[in-house]
Structure 1
Amino acid sequence: MGRTIKNPKRAKRKNKGSKKGDGSSSSSSVPSMPTRIWQPGVDKLEEGEELQCDPSAYNSLHAFHIGWPCLSFDIVRDSLGSDRKDFPHTVYLVAGTQAEKAAWNSIGVFKISNISGKRRELVPTKSEDDSDVESDSDDSEDEEDGGSGTPVLQLRKVAHHGCVNRIRAMAQQPHICASWADSGHVQVWDLCSHLNALAESETEGVQGASSVFNQAPLVNFHGHKDEGYAIDWSPLVPGKLATGDCKNCIHLWEPTSGSTWNVDATPYIGHSASVEDIQWSPTEPHAFVSCSVDGTIAIWDTRLGKSPAVSFKAHEADVNVISWNRQASCMLASGSDDGTFSIHDFRLLKEGDTVVAHFKYHKYPVTSIQWSPQEASTLAVSSSDNQLTIWDLSLEKDEEEEAEFKAQTKELVNAPEDLPPQLLFVHQGQKDLKELHWHTEIPGMVVSTAADGFNILMPSNIQSTLPSNDAA
């Protein structure tokens, strides 16, 4: 627990600053054979070849485990400042486990500090000698630009009966989080004491050594008729919550005085199958969207009753996940069970077709999708094909620029012709990817969870900054 991935060897050559990045390279066990960039979905490993991570594709890359696999987590907003660029970094997370027995589950509240890294140039000023890039670790580089050594994981566990299907922290009151359990219960928790304990100590719960705390939830709602996954806090109205279940029902939670909620017993019904995800509008306090196994997306206005204001077919297969763009509120991204994801423009609703972009890169179900909180055109996608991809929809193919880059780096970067020009980065190495989140206060940082643990990654070609109106 709390260990860092030590990358076996850096690739001798890599696509360091092109529009497309990839954190993996293909190398042979025969030392004399050259290293080359791995093209996901295109290249095949030959006998004697293996994939090795190229750490120079990242400003930072670390991994850790919390015991049982985690299906869902959330990044907790902190008071350490926005637009944080200097290493080392500290992050706070909440996560739920998928334990073998219901009674073994818990909500993990954790702090990861001393996250080291190095901010790299997109295009190197001079070529690197093979002799100085062959290394079992990039710690020496980290020391130049923000910390060294292994990140420190501090963990406190709160007992949770049943597996946690999804968990979300409230933006306005980050110590309040809501969890969806496979038992069919939705619970709201106050994790203030645990977050404070981690913030005030550098030794509390180090390496997950703390015991499991028994704590009663603030609310334990059992009005859903089945388990579910859809849950979201309103970014505009503190405490307002919506939850959707596998029986197609959505319940609205209204905060009252104190730490209590009134949950509307009469559900919102507009889907014919399981509600998979919910997103509140970033600009309209009464509006939210939902997606379903029935292939549709519904837009709701809570002032207009319990039926959708608009519903439209979004994908041919199940719609697993959606993300409402906080920087461009007319845009919604949706990911499907067939591996495709689409970009919808709500300004086109009257025309009957909202899709302005549709991508078929992933071959297996999309498990998570989220717009960057800093860049309106950038989003990240995870899939059951064990790839986490980052996309910039503002990019177009520029053959002159690519030729200039190859000349500068003296590298042969032969991407397949059908690779989308909007594909910015591909991250691999995790098995059974489930969920990802951008850090709202550390530009360019993505955290992801999979069956084999968490990754914290900062691709070297994602060097965004917070919008000026959000900066501290």
Structure 2
Amino acid sequence: MCYMGRHRSCSVWDFKSFLNSVADSGPVAHKEDDIIHNHVPLKIFNGHKDEGYAIDWSPLVTGRLVSGDCNSCIHLWEPSSSTWDVDTKPFVGHSASVEDLQWSPTEGDVFASCSVDGKICIWDVRTEKKPCMSIKAHNADVNVISWNRLASCMIASGCDDGSFSIRDLRFIKDDGAVVAHFEYHKHPITSVEWSPHEASTLAVSSADHQLTIWDLSLEKDAEEEAEFRAKMKEQANAPEDLPPQLLFVHQGQKDLKELHWHPQIPGMIVSTAADGFNVLMPSNIDTTIAGADKPTLAPLG
């Protein structure tokens, strides 16, 4: 596990033994409790010039990670034996705080970053420490990004103004790079993540205390909506400005901060907030039945 926060240092910890002990339901022995409290990190890096919160482990190169700080700098960590070699010369390309980092799901040497400067940058660790590509993604802080692991040309970004966008990296030099843009949320986007099981589905959380699930493959179907309203006897009328791609809205948590899809269980999400965490599995996210026909439009659940 890698941790970075307000103290400028970035540290890597090995919690494998503690995770393995979770299966033991017995009380923690006094000796084991001492071991937990006296546990020390495998590596501490003090090269960041400011606090930071952006970290991502490579899904392709075991042990490789990048860390970003509020001073606009990004450092590369390379695994070496039982420790890490951290390049003290940072990647520089942003003009403000680095907010999030994402490794490419298909290229082990490529990663993306987003920043308060409104940009998304694409980097290659094999080249000079300058971005290969710099995109003006939003007119406000870009808080979070997610690189689609099933459709690697797609990257999602969440903005401080409550909007989020989807870009096709194949057309990044053209005006058609933005394939979708939504302004449903009215407060800053705090987390965004593509589903690991469905290429067109992603989840978004916001400071408006909502977690939403979206399917970009859906389109408005007036005929099907009319049939559904007739079946429900006009009890299910949706607002006219409701995006047809919106599948599900989860409420009840205060100050949502982060969400993640379960890597093995399709449709399951864990979300963290100021008042705790939730594990949810919306009933109208039909990804668990093999060969099931995908609905054109699913009602809010």
Considering the TM-score relative to the shorter chain, is it more than 0.5?
A: yes
Q: Which residue of structure 1 aligns with residue 44 of structure 2?
A: 220
> Conserved in 2, the CA contact under 8 Å of 1:281 and 1:287?
yes
Rounded to whole Å, the distance in 1 between the matches of 2:70 and 2:289 is 37
| 1:376-391 aligned within 5 A | 376-391=199-214
Shift of residue 467 of structure 1?
A: 9.5
Rounded to whole Å, the distance in 1 between the matches of 2:9 and 2:260 is 24
SS of 1:357's partner is: strand
Judge which range, 394-403 or 261-270, deviates more: 394-403
Q: Which residue of structure 1 aligns with residue 16 of structure 2?
A: 192
Structure 2 vs 1, CA of residues 466 and 266 (structure 1 numbering), >3 Å: closer, same or farther? farther
> Conserved in 1, the CA contact under 8 Å of 2:8 and 2:49?
yes
Q: Which residue of structure 2 aligns with residue 395 of structure 1?
A: 218
Two-structure CA RMSD over aligned residues (Å): 1.7
Rounded to whole Å, the distance in 2 between the matches of 1:465 and 1:265 is 46
Q: Which amino acid aligns with 1:452?
A: D
Q: Which residue of structure 2 aligns with residue 351 of structure 1?
A: 174
Q: Which amino acid aligns with 2:114?
A: C
> Conserved in 2, the CA contact under 8 Å of 1:197 and 1:204?
no
1:449 matches 2:280: no
| 1:30-49 aligned within 5 A | none
Judge which range, 305-314 or 401-410, deviates more: 401-410
Rounded to whole Å, the distance in 1 between the matches of 2:133 and 2:123 is 7
Q: Which amino acid aligns with 1:438?
A: W
Shift of residue 403 of structure 1?
A: 2.5
> Conserved in 2, the CA contact under 8 Å of 1:198 and 1:204?
no
2:86 equivalent among 259, 263, 269: 263
Structure 2 vs 1, CA of residues 411 and 446 (structure 1 numbering), >3 Å: closer, same or farther? farther
Judge which range, 458-467 or 354-363, deviates more: 458-467
| 1:334-366 alpha-carbon deviations (Å, 9 max, x no partner) | 000000000000010232552111101000000
> Conserved in 2, the CA contact under 8 Å of 1:252 and 1:264?
yes
Q: Which amino acid aligns with 2:13?
A: W
Which blocks of at least 5 consecutive residues in structure 2 are unaligned? 292-301
Whichever of the two has the greater Rg, that structure is 1
> Conserved in 2, the CA contact under 8 Å of 1:219 and 1:261?
yes
Q: Which residue of structure 2 aligns with residue 293 of structure 1?
A: 116
Shift of residue 202 of structure 1?
A: 2.7
1:332 matches 2:178: no
Rounded to whole Å, the distance in 1 between the matches of 2:77 and 2:290 is 31
Shift of residue 466 of structure 1?
A: 9.6
> Conserved in 1, the CA contact under 8 Å of 2:229 and 2:237?
no
Shift of residue 180 of structure 1?
A: 1.1
Rounded to whole Å, the distance in 2 between the matches of 1:344 and 1:424 is 20
Rounded to whole Å, the distance in 2 between the matches of 1:224 and 1:336 is 25
Rounded to whole Å, the distance in 2 between the matches of 1:437 and 1:219 is 26
> Conserved in 2, the CA contact under 8 Å of 1:277 and 1:321?
yes
SS of 2:53's partner is: strand
Rounded to whole Å, the distance in 1 between the matches of 2:122 and 2:27 is 44
Q: Which residue of structure 2 aligns with residue 244 of structure 1?
A: 68
| 1:145-189 alpha-carbon deviations (Å, 9 max, x no partner) | xxxxxxxxxxxxxxxxxxxxxxxxxxxxxxxx1111211111111
Rounded to whole Å, the distance in 1 between the matches of 2:176 and 2:49 is 34
Q: Which amino acid aligns with 1:297?
A: I
Rounded to whole Å, the distance in 1 between the matches of 2:152 and 2:252 is 33
1:463 matches 2:298: no
Q: Which residue of structure 1 aligns with residue 228 of structure 2?
A: 405
Structure 2 vs 1, CA of residues 296 and 183 (structure 1 numbering), >3 Å: closer, same or farther? same
Rounded to whole Å, the distance in 2 between the matches of 1:179 and 1:421 is 38
> Conserved in 2, the CA contact under 8 Å of 1:443 and 1:466?
no
Q: Which amino acid aligns with 1:189?
A: W
Rounded to whole Å, the distance in 2 between the matches of 1:467 and 1:182 is 46
| 1:23-422 aligned within 5 A | 177-199=1-23, 201-204=24-27, 213-257=37-81, 259-351=82-174, 354-410=177-233, 412-422=235-245
> Conserved in 1, the CA contact under 8 Å of 2:213 and 2:248?
yes
SS of 2:126's partner is: helix
Q: Which amino acid aligns with 1:188?
A: V
